[in-house]
Amino acid sequence: MSLDLSAILSIWNFVLGFIVFVYLFYKYKFTQWNSKNIPTLSPSIPFGNMQNPLTRKTTTYEHLKSIYDHMKARGAKHLGIYSYFNMVYVPIDLEIVKKVMTTDFQHFVDRGVYFNEKDDPLSAHLVNIEGDKWRKLRTKLTPTFTSGKMRNMFIILTKCGEQMLDALNETKEVDIKEILGCFTTDVIGNCAFGLELNSFAEDKNDFRDFGKKAMKPNLMGILKLIFCMTFQKLSLALRLRILDKEVSNFFMNAVASTITYREENNIQRNDFLQLLIELKNTNDINNRLTLQEISAQCFVFFLAGFETSSTAMTFCLYELAKNQDVQNKVRDEIVKTIQNHNGILTYDGLSEMKYLQQVLNETLRMYPSVPFVARKCTMDYSLPISGKLMKKGTRVFIPIYAIHHDEDIYENPQVFDPERFSDENKTKRHPYSFLPFGEGPRNCIGSRFGLMQSKVGLVLLLQKYRFEPSSKTEKITFNPNGILMDTKETIWLTIKKL
Ligand code: HEM
């Protein structure tokens, strides 16, 4: 009996000691921004300034926006917050944003995203990898996205677009994100994996299913991600992986079998995979890529490429349905330009559609597919204004969504107005006030391809259909668990054949 009591007392002391330790640890951590003279908000244990992931009502980017608005109204040019106990620096002033992303880039080379190359090889892709390894890979992959290569892939895009049109072919209500998701899955599946998927024809499409699974983790997946991001070293030691094993095996096998098939049958195509195969077989050993590295890059092109562009097109058509005058104007431009190119949609014709570019820019302003981006301080940095040191390892969030909705930069930010992006109006703003593809050496490598595929999808659809709001979708709200821009509700639109 007495033994039991002493055991209970020991456990009690241990638990109490642990609670006191955690409390003091947090209290110490929470003094850090004050000691650097950086404006901050009062944090609480255990989430710091972030929301409880189990009960949050808004997205992280909307939450960042409310912090940004609050601090900017008090005259702050930057601020420091805590994600759990980790320090996060948030620049507000666009000159500071520019410093972090471009001018002082050598201090902010990495994103600080958790990845585990050994146990989860597909996670070692261009978005996640760091330092010199990233620099070398970025240099090798950059030629994959030149305008010459884009021109070669244009034909694949229009072919996938035609399949989309064949599948619609009538007046009805459609889940527009699903339609556009099938289109971009087909395009990227074709360009990155060399596979003719035709998601519209087949009931079951593993690429579409596994792609969705990789983009939309369940609650356990989200909690695991938060754990891995907060305790990166511990997670590596525990050999935790983020990507589901089944998803990972699927994509690794898809790349390996396609490469084998092409090499055995001597097949060459104008796509990303072909360029990656050339890097695998190059005689220059410094530039050679392994099969594992190729698989990781194909995977990231697929993930980064299909969701971002289908989101951009979805919101674009949603806004065009609500703004019929803008829809008519952009359609007029499309019809006239195609007529001037002998009735055919060409790469050059697409580049001439200036108003379409304005419409897409305004969509990406209101609904940036990637609403905030991260950097990690890779070398101690003298903080602007305060002059104190930001320690290596500190994370930085660039609040893209908040900047794009800042009333001081964009009057009436909730109004969809493509005129904001006319040549004249564009020059009146700071160049870092529009960041849909990020900025600086770590910006989006696929922006040209993303824009091209979004424009092709929009042109083909707008040429044949009028888009109108559907009574099934009256109001949209953002999915609180989404890291990328995503809605809770399905976006239904009525399409009418012209
Ligand atoms: C509308 C379409 C797209 C949007 C809005 C978009 C947006 C972004 C953003 C905001 C970033 C982060 C940039 C930064 O941190 O400064 C990024 C990075 C990246 N994107 Fe895109 N993206 C799009 C399409 C694509 C496509 C089609 C691909 C590939 C085929 C792609 C591949 C990547 C990669 C690999 C990175 C990481 C680059 C690096 O770290 O070096 N993206 N994208």
Strand ranges for 388-484 from DSSP E: 389-390, 395-398, 465-469
CA-nearest residue for atom 7, ligand 1, is 437
Instruction: Report the alpha-carbon distance of residue 45 to residue 173 in Å, rounded.
Output: 47
The Cα angle at residue 446 between residues 215 and 250, in degrees rounded to 5: 40
Nearest-atom index, ligand 1, CA of 369? 5
Which residues pair with residue 292 across a beta bridge? none
Could you tell me the sign of the dihedral formed by the alpha carbons of 335, 336, 341, 342, in that order? positive
DSSP string, 11-57: HHHHHHHHHHHHHHHHHHHTTHHHHTT--B---BTTTBTSPPTTT--
111 Cβ contact list (under 8 Å, min separation 6)? 127, 128, 130, 373, 374, 375, 376, 442
Nearest-atom index, ligand 1, CA of 192? 30
CA of residue 443 to ligand 1 center, whole Å: 7
Nearest-atom index, ligand 1, CA of 272? 30
pLDDT value of residue 194: 80
Which residues pair with residue 238 across a beta bridge? none
**How much is the average pLDDT of 283-312?**
89
- What residues make up the domain containing 246? 54-81+115-366+401-497
CA of residue 437 to ligand 1 center, whole Å: 6
Of the listed ranges 31-40, 186-195, 317-326, 421-430, the least confidently predicted one is: 186-195
CA of residue 449 to ligand 1 center, whole Å: 10
Instruction: Report the alpha-carbon distance of residue 96 to residue 78 in Å, rounded.
Output: 8
Q: Which of 111, 70, 39 is nearest to 440 (CA)?
A: 111
CA of residue 289 to ligand 1 center, whole Å: 21
User: When comparing pLDDT for 77 and 288, which is higher?
Assistant: 77
DSSP SS3 for 468: strand
Q: What is the 3-state secondary structure (H, E, C) of 159-216?
A: HHHHHHHHHHCCCEEEEHHHHHHHHHHHHHHHHHHCCCCCCCCCCCCHHHHHHHHHHC
131-141 vs 291-322: helix crossing angle, rounded to 10: 70
Among 90-94, 184-188, 285-289, which range has the highest average pLDDT?
Answer: 90-94
Answer yes or no: is 48 within a domain.
no
CA of residue 77 to ligand 1 center, whole Å: 27
For tokens 């907060």, what's the residue? 230
Task: Give the pLDDT confidence of 400-410 residue by residue, as tens digits.
Answer: 999 999 999 99
Nearest-atom index, ligand 1, CA of 312? 1
Question: Is the pLDDT reported for residue 217 higher than 80?
Answer: no
Answer yes or no: is 287 within a domain.
yes
Cβ neighbours, 10 Å, residue 349: 18
pLDDT value of residue 382: 97
Nearest-atom index, ligand 1, CA of 449? 27
Instruction: Report the alpha-carbon distance of residue 450 to residue 445 in Å, rounded.
Output: 10
Answer yes or no: is 136 within a domain.
yes
* pLDDT range class, residue 2, cuts 50, 70, 90: low
Among 236-245, 300-309, 353-362, 469-478, which range has the highest average pLDDT?
Answer: 353-362
pLDDT value of residue 212: 79
**How much is the average pLDDT of 412-416?**
97
The Cα angle at residue 221 between residues 219 and 222, in degrees rounded to 5: 65
DSSP SS3 for 317: helix
Per-residue tokens: 251? 């994509």
CA of residue 146 to ligand 1 center, whole Å: 15
Nearest-atom index, ligand 1, CA of 451? 1
**How much is the average pLDDT of 169-195?**
88
* pLDDT range class, residue 3, cuts 50, 70, 90: low
Task: Give the pLDDT confidence of 310-345 residue by residue, as tens digits.
Answer: 999 999 999 999 999 999 999 999 999 999 999 999
DSSP SS3 for 300: helix
**How much is the average pLDDT of 45-57?**
92
pLDDT value of residue 221: 83
In this structure, the residues whose C-beta lies within 6 A of any atom of ligand 1 are 126-127, 138, 300-301, 304-305, 308-309, 312, 369-370, 373, 436-439, 442-446, 449-450, 454
CA-nearest residue for atom 10, ligand 1, is 437
Question: Is the pLDDT reported for residue 1 higher than 70?
Answer: no
Paired sense of beta strands 395-398 and 389-390, if any: unpaired
Answer yes or no: is 28 within a domain.
no
Q: What is the CATH number of the domain that holds 158?
A: 1.10.630.10
Question: How many domains is the chain partitioned into structurally?
Answer: 1
pLDDT value of residue 438: 98
The proportion of the chain whose per-residue pLDDT surpasses 70, expressed as a percent, equals: 99
Answer yes or no: is 35 within a domain.
no
**How much is the average pLDDT of 225-241?**
91
Mutate to test the pocket of ligand 1, among 110, 364, 398, 437 (most ligand atoms within 8 A of CB): 437
Nearest-atom index, ligand 1, CA of 454? 1
CA-nearest residue for atom 27, ligand 1, is 305
CA of residue 451 to ligand 1 center, whole Å: 11
Question: Is the pLDDT reported for residue 368 higher than 90?
Answer: yes
Mutate to test the pocket of ligand 1, among 125, 134, 397, 444 (most ligand atoms within 8 A of CB): 444
Instruction: Report the alpha-carbon distance of residue 28 to residue 85 in Å, rounded.
Output: 10
**How much is the average pLDDT of 293-306?**
89
CA of residue 121 to ligand 1 center, whole Å: 20
Answer yes or no: is 38 within a domain.
no
* pLDDT range class, residue 270, cuts 50, 70, 90: confident
Task: Give the pLDDT confidence of 121-144 residue by residue, as tens digits.
Answer: 999 999 999 999 999 999 988 988
CA-nearest residue for atom 19, ligand 1, is 444
pLDDT value of residue 35: 95
Per-residue tokens: 5? 């009591």
347 Cβ contact list (under 8 Å, min separation 6)? 150, 151, 154, 452
Answer yes or no: is 388 within a domain.
no
Answer yes or no: is 315 within a domain.
yes
C-beta separation of 213 from 318 below 8 A? no
CA-nearest residue for atom 37, ligand 1, is 127
| Size of the chain in residues | 498
